[in-house]
Homo-oligomer: A and B are copies of this chain.
Amino acid sequence: MTTRPGGRSARVRAAVLDATYAELVERGYLGLTVENVAARAGVHKTTVYRRWATIDLLIADALDSSRDTGWPAPDTGSVEGDLIAIADEIVTVFADPARRAVPEAVVTAALHSGRARQAKRDFYAARHDQAAAVVRRAVQRDELPPGTDAVELIRLTCAPLYYRIFITGEPVDHATAERSARAALAAARAGLLRTWDATGPVSSPSRTAVDRLR
């Protein structure tokens, strides 16, 4: 079997991973089978089994393949606008039954499979890093205190939405997105997300100069 980029192996992988996404959207995690993925991809099921023994491995590889695709960070002119846009995108994805099927399957797969867990971790690390660009830019233009932990501000913006969606089962909408972003921003502006201050690194991100002056 050739392994050169663009060769048969790469085409098979692309077809199988596309089919994995399409099957997830149509049937969800519990309805996903290697047989159906193979049929949809137009390849023999042994071809799929040889490379992806379980559906969790299919999901992990599909996630890996989408991780490094471009994700354009918003650029609204203010960090508040950017964070609200990031939060709004989560609301939009989960309002669409087709699009929400993928993250739901990923969360389920990661609870059962170490390989899927690693793929999920890598995926969110990559997305956090991409989204953190809006925070780094805001620090540069003095909208936020120097040393603000950019990824932590992204986490705090997204967390209340995922918490409602996956944990409490409460609805999310634009008002929820706006409130999450503003709450996260209030913490950053209060200096609670700084990883260092004028005297050097702080031992814990919650220990700011203000805390130590008390």
Q: Looking at the complex, which one of B110, B160, B162, B186 makes contact with A190 (CB distance below 8 Å)?
A: B186
| Contact call A183/B184, Cβ cutoff below 8 A | yes
- A170 and B121 contacting across the interface, CB-CB below 8 Å: yes
Q: How far is the CB of A124 from chain B (nearest CB, A)?
A: 4
Against B, the Cβ 8 Å flags (1 = close, 0 = not) of A26-68 are 0011100000000000000000000000000000000000000
**Given contacts A111-B104, A186-B190, A205 and B163 within 8 Å (CB-CB):** no
List the B side residues contacting A164 at CB < 8 Å.
155
In the complex, the answer to whether B107 meets A166 with C-beta atoms within 8 Å is: yes
Task: Choose the segment among A1-9, A15-23, A133-141, A174-182 that binds chain B (4+ C-beta atoms closer than 8 Å).
Answer: A174-182
Residue picked from A28, A120, A162, most chain B C-beta under 10 Å: A162
Total copies of the chain: 2
Smallest distance from the beta carbon of A173 to chain B beta carbons, Å?
9
**Contact A206–B175 (Cβ < 8 Å):** yes
- Asked whether any CB of chain B lies closer than 8 Å to the CB of A117, the reply is yes
Q: Across the interface, which residues of B come within 8 angstroms of A187, CB to CB?
A: 182-184, 186-187
A160–chain B nearest beta-carbon distance, Å: 4
Task: Specify which of B29, B107, B158, B183 is in contact with A192 (CB 8 Å cutoff).
Answer: B183
Name the residue of chain B whose CB is nearest to the CB of A193: B183
A121 in contact with B169 (CB, 8 Å): yes
A175 contacts B204, CB within 8 Å?
Answer: yes
18 pairs from A and B in contact (CB 8 Å cutoff): A108-B111, A110-B169, A118-B169, A120-B167, A121-B169, A124-B169, A155-B160, A155-B163, A155-B168, A156-B183, A158-B163, A159-B159, A163-B163, A175-B204, A179-B204, A183-B187, A184-B187, A187-B187
